[in-house]
């Protein structure tokens, strides 16, 4: 069972001044995903888990944003295809660059990335990481999109958050 959660969580209040780190994927691929999976169902499941956590914390649920989802899914697909694991892609674009490129307007945004064999592992890993949990429970963020892609490392996952419209 392979689980890896990125150690840097990103939050942006008005100014894009974040530090990023590069991470590499393990040398040994995850072979535990062997049958076809319903990606959209997994994305919905993870969204529900996030909103359950927010409800427990007394916060409003995150509205699912299709435009944000497209950016999140594209980043997960890119990480799987080009074999990297980072908030910054090989073209040096960070999450905020990708959102702006897609025409998404925001004042605050955050991104969590993870990969594991199951949604449960991904969610538990993110909730056990203080910075990722802070993104999930940030009251200034009201919308989210999730992008999951089946990869040789497991379910490559991007959670992308932004302020409410």
pLDDT of residue 36: 59
Tell me, what's the pLDDT at 37? 79
Choice among 32-36, 59-63, 73-77, 135-139 with the minimum mean pLDDT: 32-36
Residue 1: pLDDT over 70: no
- 144 in helix, strand or coil? strand
The pLDDT confidence band at residue 164, using thresholds 50, 70 and 90, is confident
52 pLDDT more than 80: yes
At 60 the pLDDT is: 98
Higher local confidence (pLDDT), 67 or 27: 67
Of 16 and 160, more confident: 160
pLDDT average, residue stretch 57-69: 98
Please say if the pLDDT value at position 12 is more than 70. no
- If we measure between CA atoms, which residue out of 58, 61, 46, 56 comes closest to residue 124? 46
Higher pLDDT, 65 or 6: 65
Per the structure block, which two tokens stand in for 51?
A: 């909103």
Domains along the chain with CATH numbers: 3-10+36-162 (3.40.33.10)
Q: Helices in the chain by DSSP H: which ranges? A: 39-56, 66-82, 95-101, 119-127, 130-136
pLDDT of residue 19: 30
Average pLDDT score, the chain: 85
């Amino acid at each position: 069972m392979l689980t890896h959660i990125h150690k840097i969580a990103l939050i942006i209040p008005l100014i894009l001044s974040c530090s990023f780190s590069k991470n590499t994927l393990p040398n040994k691929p995850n072979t535990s995903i062997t049958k076809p999976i319903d990606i959209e169902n997994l994305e919905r499941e993870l969204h529900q888990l996030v909103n359950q956590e927010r409800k427990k914390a007394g916060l409003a649920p995150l509205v699912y944003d299709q435009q944000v989802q497209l950016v999140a899914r594209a980043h997960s697909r890119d990480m799987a295809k080009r074999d990297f694991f980072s908030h910054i892609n090989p073209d040096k674009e960070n999450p905020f660059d990708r959102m702006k490129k897609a025409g998404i307007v925001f004042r605050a945004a955050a991104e969590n990335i993870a990969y594991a064999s199951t949604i449960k592992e991904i969610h538990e890993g993110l909730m056990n990481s203080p910075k990722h949990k802070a993104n999930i429970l940030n009251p200034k963020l009201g919308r989210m999109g999730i992008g999951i892609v089946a990869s040789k490392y497991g379910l490559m996952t991007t959670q992308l958050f932004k302020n409410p419209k």
